Structure 1
Amino acid sequence: MGLVVSRRFGRLLNGAGSSFSLPLRSLLLAPLLLLAGCQPAAPDPQAARSTPQSVSPIPVHAPSAPKPRAKPIAVAPPVIPSAASALDRRIEALGSGFRGDVGLAVRDIQTGWISHYRGLDYFPQQSVSKLWVAISAFDMADRGKLDLRGRLSVRPNDLTLFHQPIRSLATRPGGFQTDREDLLTRALTQSDNSANDKMLREVGGPDAVRATLAAKSISGIRFGPGEKGLQSRIAGLDWQASFAKGNGFYTAREALLIAQRRAAFEAYVADPVDGARPIAMVDALARLKTGELLSDASTAQMLDLMGQTRTGALRLKSGLRPGWTLSHKTGTGQILEGEQAGYNDVGILTSPEGRSYAVAVMIGRTSRPLPERMDLMRKVVRLTIAYDGELAEQKDATGAGADVR
């Protein structure tokens, strides 16, 4: 597999926001391969010690004719479609033109091409992290370790904070009787925090999710402590059960000095405990789409649930063209003095012909109006769809698809 590296690769390694394109695993391995190739061969001390002190004379023969040196083989550089180069430029222009802390990434799932802006920086996931709870649950079900049809109860002590449509059901006398599959559906399609935290406990907690990520070689993505711990920490608080009752959390948060809240907020956006790199996000989504992470049945079920997402209708989804579909997950963080810590949408775009693209728009901190953020997401989708069309035109013009892997 050939590597395709843009002319801005040097700036990428130095941590600057830039655009380059190659599969993520190649990105991670390339520096190691380069270093390995630069190491001088060490002398063999054992060979030196074992040399005999006296040896028989070596017979001298007439020198043989020198062998002709093989001519170096010319290797043509991989062909980079003009459509892909254009997508590079457009994604970088969008990212650099947005007045906020943003990371963008688009991955062509067919070829592995990645265009991105600040793709190696960590950005808060917020509710995007519900994806990893679901993958952990489906993975356990695939291995026979978890029955998704298993019944359970959701009661008031299972409630968390912020968006939790299940709250009205959990506070009924006797609680709410349901199953794990229903909780997964609520967590992914409604972004229900309490449903997600309940499922998080069912799969074994944050450490179990981190173990799933590690086992599946999903790097560049962190998993935090769950909604209770995460949202409390961002506000400068330690979680207490009373926060889930009425306005308990809001009352406790408002009682803090603004300096305390600001310090906690700044610490979070600077190094988010639930952070993810945009290129890692699109890599994981691509692997989900191609069936590398789950069984065929679980893959289909999870993508179907992501396709039913009700949140974020004016984010990535607003950029769709007729016939295109989106399986996605949104994430929205807390606001302090007009600044929001996390405003995201990530997902898999699929064309009418079946070609797919993983897309991530992750805003870490911004005070820009919502329409501007949604417009950014809409444009990323429109650029991806335009890339698909231009790539098809280029293929038709040349009579063959360019290899950009």
Structure 2
Amino acid sequence: MNRTAPSSARAALCLLAGLGLIGAAPQGHAQSFEEFISGDNGAILDGREKIRSMPPVLRQQLVSIAAADRGRIGVAALDLTTGASVSILGEQAFPMASTSKIAIAATFLAGVDAGRYRLQDRYPLQIPVASRPFDGPVAPVKPGMQVAAERLIELMITRSDNSATDAMLKAVGGPKAVTEWLRNAGLSRQRIDRDIATLVRDDGEFDPVTVVDERDSTPPEEMVALIAGLYQGKWLSPESRDLLVNTMTRTVTGSRRIKAGLPSGSRFGHKTGTLNNTASDVGFVELPDGRVIVMAIYVTGQGGRPQRDQRIAQITRVLYDGFTESRFAALATAQTQN
């Protein structure tokens, strides 16, 4: 477990390192963020070639995101056609909160593909029992009604139901089993350490703005890698892949996050996460030309939940506009024709 409480200076250094600034300036010259973002190494969006002319709106958004005193923000996005990508603090650990439910569902579906489970199998909901925070390593729960696995997946993804999630988690063997599946999938840092009942009961132990608690966390880049692999059918059968991807398109939580940042009528699928002083939204978006963008946005601080939701929506729109910009469209066309 790695928990550090960075000072403002350390947070700034972490930000600059995440943006690739440290080491880019000539020896003896300390670049400002604006100098970096305007220079050759400031192309946050890149495909097969570096984009040297950054749209003003995107630059303004990135400068705003760089205000570390408001709270850490991690962003990663990937164009599945061209390989163009975005990463801002994409290698730092952020609280997954309920975005972890994607990995839990994937672990169960991989078990279905292997013949260990069936979607018709029924499991009891895991209902939290009142207990004091931090009173033992695992929060007490009691079994509830029996629900079919396919319905549990629907509840945990579309409505972020915690009791359904813990039913699935228990079925696959607990947090260690999900983390093991992630490791076998090649994701080395995304991890699940606690069930949802314990995570919620003990929420608030650390402030994610200033403390990096690696329990139940992921770098945004690894969440993008997970969703991209699932979308592309990398680890699941076509049937299991379609079930999970289609379920994500029916998510009803987080209407002010990714959904609010997209043009009306956009086709997308996502999973939200919310805990003390942090909010997140991760998923995929289909662009008008048929390309698919996978994105993961993790926000801490910013003043309150409405402000965090607004930041996610703003970042989503910047990403959407950036990836639909003509240079990316040209890359997609060239990739299709080759």
* TM-score w.r.t. length of structure 1: 0.63
Superposition map of 1:315-330 within 5 A: 315-330=257-272
Aligned pair partner of 1:314 in 256, 277, 283: 256
**In structure 2, distance between residues paired with 1:217 and 1:376:** 30
Aligned pair partner of 1:194 in 139, 146, 163: 163
What is the match of residue 387 of structure 1? Answer: 322
1:81, distance to aligned residue in structure 2 (A) = 4.5
Q: Secondary structure at the match of 1:344?
A: strand
Q: Does 1:343 align with 2:279?
A: yes
Aligned pair partner of 1:124 in 95, 108, 122: 95
1:84–1:302 CA distance, 2 compared to 1 (3 A): farther
What is the match of residue 195 of structure 2? Answer: 226
1:219, distance to aligned residue in structure 2 (A) = 2.3
What is the match of residue 79 of structure 1? Answer: 49
1:113, distance to aligned residue in structure 2 (A) = 2.2
Aligned pair partner of 1:184 in 130, 140, 153: 153
Q: Secondary structure at the match of 1:371?
A: helix
**In structure 1, distance between residues paired with 2:314 and 2:201:** 34
Q: Secondary structure at the match of 2:251?
A: coil
What is the match of residue 128 of structure 2? Answer: 160
CA RMSD in angstroms, aligned pairs only: 3.3
1:150–1:381 CA distance, 2 compared to 1 (3 A): same
Contact 1:206–1:226 under 8 Å retained in 2: yes
Aligned pair partner of 1:110 in 72, 81, 102: 81
Q: Does 1:133 align with 2:104?
A: yes
Q: Among all aligned residue pairs of Structure 1 and Structure 2, give the percentage whose two residues are the same amino acid.
A: 28
1:319, distance to aligned residue in structure 2 (A) = 1.1
The residue type equivalent to 2:19 in the other structure is S
Contact 1:306–1:329 under 8 Å retained in 2: yes
Q: Secondary structure at the match of 2:263?
A: coil
| Structure number with larger C-alpha Rg | 1
1:290, distance to aligned residue in structure 2 (A) = 1.2
**In structure 2, distance between residues paired with 1:394 and 1:302:** 28
**In structure 2, distance between residues paired with 1:108 and 1:141:** 29
Contact 1:114–1:279 under 8 Å retained in 2: no
Contact 2:206–2:213 under 8 Å retained in 1: no
1:225–1:392 CA distance, 2 compared to 1 (3 A): same
The residue type equivalent to 1:123 in the other structure is F
Contact 1:91–1:117 under 8 Å retained in 2: no
Any idea what the Cα deviations from partners look like across 1:128-162, whole Å, max 9, x if unmatched?
Answer: 111111010111111111111112444xxx20279
* TM-score w.r.t. length of structure 2: 0.75
1:104, distance to aligned residue in structure 2 (A) = 1.2
1:18–1:152 CA distance, 2 compared to 1 (3 A): closer
Contact 1:136–1:212 under 8 Å retained in 2: yes
What is the match of residue 65 of structure 2? Answer: 95
Aligned pair partner of 1:369 in 304, 323, 326: 304
1:13–1:209 CA distance, 2 compared to 1 (3 A): farther
The residue type equivalent to 2:284 in the other structure is I
**In structure 2, distance between residues paired with 1:161 and 1:313:** 30
1:367–1:80 CA distance, 2 compared to 1 (3 A): closer
1:177–1:230 CA distance, 2 compared to 1 (3 A): closer
Any idea what the Cα deviations from partners look like across 1:342-364, whole Å, max 9, x if unmatched?
Answer: 2111111112332111111112x
1:85, distance to aligned residue in structure 2 (A) = 8.3
What is the match of residue 304 of structure 1? Answer: 246
1:361–1:220 CA distance, 2 compared to 1 (3 A): same
Aligned pair partner of 1:356 in 287, 292, 312: 292
> Structure 1 stretches of 5 or more lacking a match?
1-11, 21-76, 163-169, 236-263, 335-339
The residue type equivalent to 2:259 in the other structure is K
1:217, distance to aligned residue in structure 2 (A) = 0.8
**In structure 1, distance between residues paired with 2:235 and 2:50:** 29
**In structure 2, distance between residues paired with 1:367 and 1:13:** 19
**In structure 2, distance between residues paired with 1:106 and 1:82:** 19
> Structure 2 stretches of 5 or more lacking a match?
1-11, 21-46, 131-140
Q: Secondary structure at the match of 1:265?
A: coil
1:183, distance to aligned residue in structure 2 (A) = 0.8
1:202–1:277 CA distance, 2 compared to 1 (3 A): same
1:311, distance to aligned residue in structure 2 (A) = 0.7
**In structure 2, distance between residues paired with 1:318 and 1:161:** 35
The residue type equivalent to 1:361 in the other structure is I
